Amino acid sequence: MIERDKKIRKNINLFEKKRFILKIISQNQNFFSLIRWEAKSQLNLLPSISSKTYLSNLCILTVNKKKFNKLTNFSRIVFLKLVNQKKICNIYKSSW
């Protein structure tokens, strides 16, 4: 899992500058519309894994993007395990 996370972060760093430049070009009104349109199409061709939001919506421990809790950066299953082990303070199961 850690190797997969490192690979994802490396991929994001590779495409970060290109994505930033293409966004600026596509939003700048001083360029011709054809150039802006081409920048937008190039931006759409970049892989979705290279986006920063893909990284921020991953669980820290399991690198799982499904059932992700945005408040804690853990997946739902990991969050419940941590609460049951009492590793997260002041959070208890409501039925106790």
Q: For the segment 54-84, what is each residue's pLDDT rounded down to a tens digit?
A: 777 777 777 777 776 767 778 888 888 888 8
Q: Are residues 46 and 73 in the same domain?
A: no
As for how many domains the chain has, the answer is: 2
Q: Are residues 20 and 42 in the same domain?
A: yes
Containing structural domain, residue 30: 2-56
Sequence-ordered alpha helix ranges (H) in 1-96:
2-27, 33-45, 52-56, 76-84
**What local confidence, expressed as pLDDT, does residue 40 receive?**
92
CA dihedral (87, 90, 91, 95) in degrees, to 10, reads 120
Q: Judge whether 61 lies within some domain.
A: no
Give phi and psi for 51, each to the nearest 5: -90, 145
Residues 48 and 73 in one domain: no
Say yes or no: 48 and 75 in one domain: no
Q: What is the pLDDT averaged over residues 6-27?
A: 88
Q: Which residues make beta-bridge pairs with 70? A: none
